[in-house]
Amino acid sequence: MAQETKNTEKKTKGTGPGTKLLVGEFLNYKRIWLISFVLTAAFAIIPVIFFAVLDYNLTRRALENDAEARAARLASNTWRSISFFLDERKNALSYVVRSNSLAQLEDTQQLTKTLNFLHQSFGGFTDIGIIDATGVQNAYAGPHGLAGKNYKDQQWFKDTMDHGISVSDVFLGFRNVPHISIALRHTTPDNSYVIIRATIEHQLPKIISEVKTSGNGDAFLINAQGVLQTPSHHFGAVLEKANIALPLATDQTRTMPITLEDGQNLISAFRHIPNTPFILVVLKSKQVIMSPWQDSQATVIKYLGISISVVLLWIGAVTAYFVRRLKYLDIKRSKYFHMAEYENKMASIGRLAAGVAHEINNPLAIINEKAGLIKDLAHFKQELKNEPRLLETVDIILASVKRCSRITRQLLSFGRQTQTTAVPLTLKSVLDEVLVFLVKEAQLKNIFIEIDVPDTLPQVVGNRGKLQQVLLNIVNNAFAAMPRDGRLSIKAEETDDAFVRLDISDSGCGISPENLKHIFEPFFSTKTNQGGTGLGLSITYGLVQEIGGRIKVESKVNEGTTFIVSLPTTTQKEE
């Protein structure tokens, strides 16, 4: 049996902003829930995210500053070691010049002893030589046999002659091996110049290699032209050109971020070593330095995500609960409003029925009186006795008047809703009062009505008007669900628990299982475009509960539906 309900959720007309929150006569609960959820979640989560992002950035910046400071400290400590190493060798050469005469220095044996002394005392010296003002090396001590070589075209020679002392870039020279030279200009008694020169090959890379650079870090020396003076992990071997931007010369350690061609982000510290052409570069991998912070931040973000998810779930559940309560109260309010409207309509129908019955009963009484007079006259007048057709017509008139009187009495009984207390009722008589108004519709649709309600059933207890309304709603639904040539079965029997069970079955289209569980909910309907209030079965359910009964429904699609109404009897009421 298809339920006589209707979903009244249709969007209201209007252009104001509030109209979007209304659907039919109800609020748009999905929109209310969404707005409530979004606003509550925003006020709860935005401050948390704001402070999390703020802490994230502050912590990152603090770690970056700390990494830059550590790189700067490492560069400062390293350049001091290199500067001390070079100053120590320059001072050693200066001591050799002051403690020996020119003749001693130009003596090869004495020069060899001096080299051995320097090597044993300080280390790092490869060879040593005395070069005159024309650039010719007059005396030489070392493994490479460079006596007699002319260095006048060498840059270090020119710098030494100009400034008195020089530390050269790394260069290949005559030996074709990367090395640096430390040279001092010495004035002879005859006011000419000689240069004492020593070379160093492997000490600077050794000092740089002792620098602790964790992870993918690097440390190396470079000159102002970008030529490597020591090997580099990232930029290649000695004397290769490094593609790196160098800061201006200053007596302070400078830090700056750089990005390699392979995309690595590095923190770099630069320091110009005084009185040398060298620039110390210390590189530290930003990824390695920031990895502990990233691990901790990943943990914080994970727990932040979990916390936000829990908050969102809680807010969603709470707002859904309150919106459901709002929906329940709104539906309940609307239901009672419609029930009051329905009761008012029934009362109006009752008053109208009383007026109509009164107006019909007056002419019926006259018709009945005149028909009786005609029948009496027929008995007294002999000529009328011989007219059987007249007497038959009078009997038909009297029978029709009696039938009309019965209909008006039933109409008055059905429309009368003044009874408020529960009284004993005969189920069959109440059923007859309802069916009398549906006979014509049953004839039009050729619906066969089968009634099996014994006269021996005990009386039920209830309100006549409410019981009439229950039966009328169920039978009307049955008629709506059945096509032509349908069948309606009404059967009643007494149960063991002092109730009368009334089964109203139809041969209609039936109700699907997913709709069956919502059949008694207010405003639920599968016939949204066919009119009605959508409250018929909901009101029916409430009326059955009010008179102390029970109602349930059984249905199969395309087979039919059965409403089972259990009504309390007088015996059950007494118990």
pLDDT in tens, 360-380: 777 888 888 888 877 777 777
The answer to whether 137 touches 130, Cβ cutoff 8 Å, is yes
Q: How confident is the model at residue 23 (pLDDT cuts 50, 70, 90)?
A: very low
What is the C-alpha separation between 131 and 123, in angstroms, rounded? Answer: 22
- Position 469 scores a pLDDT of 83
Residue at token pair 């994230």: 56
The answer to whether 486 touches 560, Cβ cutoff 8 Å, is no
Q: What is the mean pLDDT of the chain?
A: 82
Highest averaged pLDDT of the listed ranges 96-100, 190-194, 195-199, 566-570? 195-199
- Position 128 scores a pLDDT of 93
pLDDT tens column, 262-288: 888 888 999 999 999 999 999 988 877
What is the C-alpha separation between 490 and 447, in angstroms, rounded? Answer: 13
More confident of the two residues 138 and 401: 138
- Position 129 scores a pLDDT of 93
The gap from C-alpha 412 to its chain's centroid, in whole angstroms, comes to: 62
The answer to whether 255 touches 72, Cβ cutoff 8 Å, is yes
What is the C-alpha separation between 346 and 339, in angstroms, rounded? Answer: 10
Q: How confident is the model at residue 5 (pLDDT cuts 50, 70, 90)?
A: very low
Average pLDDT, integer, range 46-52: 87
- Position 382 scores a pLDDT of 67
User: Which CATH architecture fits 205-289?
Assistant: 2-Layer Sandwich (3.30)
What is the C-alpha separation between 49 and 52, in angstroms, rounded? Answer: 5
pLDDT tens column, 442-491: 888 889 999 999 988 899 998 887 888 889 889 988 888 888 889 999 99
DSSP 438: T
Cβ density class 13-38: b for 16+ within 10 Å, e for less: eeeeeeeeebbebbebbeebbeebbe
Residue at token pair 């493994």: 143
Is it the case that residue 419 has pLDDT exceeding 60? no
The gap from C-alpha 422 to its chain's centroid, in whole angstroms, comes to: 56
- Position 543 scores a pLDDT of 85
What is the C-alpha separation between 483 and 447, in angstroms, rounded? Answer: 8
The answer to whether 106 touches 130, Cβ cutoff 8 Å, is yes
- Position 13 scores a pLDDT of 40
| Angle formed at CA 125 by CA 124 and CA 126, multiple of 5 degrees | 115
**Terminal Cα distance for the chain, rounded:** 35
Class of domain 421-574 as given by CATH: alpha beta
Is it the case that residue 206 has pLDDT exceeding 80? yes
Q: For the chain, which residues make up each domain, given as ranges?
A: 205-289, 421-574
- Position 10 scores a pLDDT of 40
CA dihedral 27, 29, 32, 33 (to 10 degrees): 170
Strand partners, 565: 502, 551
Percent helix, strand and coil across the chain, each to the nearest 5: 50, 20, 30
Largest CA distance in the chain: 192
